[in-house]
Amino acid sequence: MRIAAIDVGTNTAQLLIADVTGKRIERLHVAERFVRLGEGVDATGRISKAALRRLGDVLRDHRSVAEAHEVDQFVVCATSASRDATNRDEVIRFVRDETGLPYEILSGEEEATWSFAAATAPFRDVHAGCLVVDVGGGSTELVAGTNPSGHTPNAERSISARVSLNIGCIRLTERCFTSQPPAPNDISFARNAIDSALEHATLIASSRNDGALTVIGTAGTASALALVDTGPDSTIDPLNGSPHTLTSERVRHWREDVLRRSPEEVLALHPKAMEHRATVFPVGVMILDAVLEQTGASVLHVSPYELRHGLILRHLASA
């Protein structure tokens, strides 16, 4: 069976086309389009008409690409922005009427579960504790587990705790930054919001007490950071790439670097990876840095797989 999975987040709508044979997934095509669906949602509580039009255009394009690949089934799921919007029912109707596609809004728990399953899938040697971090536009998902490699391909069985925090990079940029580069007071405001959210996440405290911990970053900010770290000539393969590793010192270096830059200067670091992301990337790196500091982890492993891969795993689990 050939499946097209679309993950509609706060910032992007990501497509994965894959052939599924039994429990084997062969990734054939990936695409990322920027929608900024969550623009203004933190302030107004609603997804705007302009954002809906952008979403419709992108989903029609994704559908056209998928149909050219002769897919058998579509799986379309949405996360934080759609989940938080007071007009979520309008969004579901709009997508159905304008694109003919299904539109399921995942709970924070479902998003965390399948982000974890996807993020840990490329790893074959994680048998102790691990923490998966997915910094999205509207929220940050944290999922703790033990021995995901021993539970492959059903890594969700290893999950011990999960939480969805309302500290996504778009949400906090809109809330905390009045200029870019941000003023010191804006940086302190954002960091206090991040620290407060993490301090109330009990799984962070338990992670600190469990000894050796593998921290895995997945999707948006983490993937973009891997590309920035390897440079604009990076040959990271989004279909078949291997995990990328950054030390905590390297993450801290990039945090300090991007907070000193204007959006144009952030964009210049890696024009492709930073397109439509440059203004919110600094807060995303702040969140990753804070997670490493709170857990005491010395390394961030960046997974090449993310929620759209998890949506196919979820489909298989329910088949």
pLDDT (tens digit per residue) in 214-268 = 999 998 899 999 999 998 887 677 667 778 999 999 999 999 999 999 999 999 9
Does residue 317 sit within a domain? no
How far apart (Å, rounded) are the C-alpha atoms in residues 106 and 184? 36
Does residue 318 sit within a domain? no
Residues 6+ positions from 6 with CB-CB distance below 8 Å = 13, 14, 15, 16, 59, 62, 74, 75, 76, 77, 101, 308, 311
Instruction: Give Cα 188 to chain centroid, integer Å.
Output: 24
Strands 73-78 and 2-8: parallel
Percent with pLDDT over 70 in the chain: 94
Does residue 112 sit within a domain? no
Q: Are residues 209 and 257 in the same domain?
A: yes
Give residue 210's pLDDT: 59
Q: Are residues 172 and 80 in the same domain?
A: no
Least confident among 72-86, 126-140, 264-278: 126-140
Q: Which residue did the predictor score with more confidence, 59 or 276?
A: 59
Q: Are residues 65 and 161 in the same domain?
A: no
For residue 126, pLDDT over 90 is answered with no
Count the domains in the chain: 2
Does residue 157 sit within a domain? yes
Q: Are residues 6 and 94 in the same domain?
A: yes
Does residue 246 sit within a domain? yes
When pLDDT is cut at 50, 70 and 90, the band that residue 53 belongs to is very high
Q: Are residues 259 and 131 in the same domain?
A: yes
The overall average pLDDT reported for the chain is 90
Give the domain range for residue 16.
2-105
Give residue 215's pLDDT: 94
Give residue 292's pLDDT: 94
Q: At 297, which CATH number?
A: 3.30.420.150
Give residue 39's pLDDT: 87
CB 129 within 8 A of CB 211: yes
Does residue 111 sit within a domain? no
Q: Name the domain boundary from 78, 105, 132.
A: 105
**Which whole number is the average pLDDT over 5-25?**
92
Which amino acid is present at 143? V
Give residue 181's pLDDT: 97
Give residue 111's pLDDT: 85
For residue 203, pLDDT over 70 is answered with yes
Q: Name the domain boundary from 105, 138, 154.
A: 105
Percent with pLDDT over 90 in the chain: 60
Give residue 150's pLDDT: 65
Give residue 151's pLDDT: 65
How far apart (Å, rounded) are the C-alpha atoms in residues 36 and 12? 6
**Which whole number is the average pLDDT over 201-215?**
72
Cβ neighbours around 240 below 10 Å, total = 10
Give residue 89's pLDDT: 95
Range from 39-53, 140-154, 193-207 that averages highest in pLDDT:
39-53
Q: Are residues 74 and 132 in the same domain?
A: no
Q: Are residues 195 and 96 in the same domain?
A: no
Does residue 316 sit within a domain? no
When pLDDT is cut at 50, 70 and 90, the band that residue 67 belongs to is very high
Range from 2-6, 158-162, 220-224 that averages highest in pLDDT:
2-6
Q: Are residues 18 and 129 in the same domain?
A: no
Does residue 22 sit within a domain? yes
10 Å CB burial of residue 82 (0-12, 13-18, 19+) is buried
Q: Are residues 41 and 185 in the same domain?
A: no
How far apart (Å, rounded) are the C-alpha atoms in residues 121 and 240? 12
pTM, whole model, 2 decimals? Answer: 0.85
When pLDDT is cut at 50, 70 and 90, the band that residue 131 belongs to is very high
Give residue 289's pLDDT: 97
Give residue 163's pLDDT: 86
Q: Name the domain boundary from 80, 105, 130.
A: 105
Give residue 232's pLDDT: 82
Structure tokens at 124: 């074959």
Q: At 14, which CATH number?
A: 3.30.420.40
Q: Are residues 84 and 132 in the same domain?
A: no
Q: Are residues 163 and 280 in the same domain?
A: yes
How distant, in Å, are the alpha carbons of 100, 116, 151, 175, 307 from that of 51? 18, 28, 39, 19, 22
Give residue 211's pLDDT: 60
Q: Are residues 148 and 6 in the same domain?
A: no
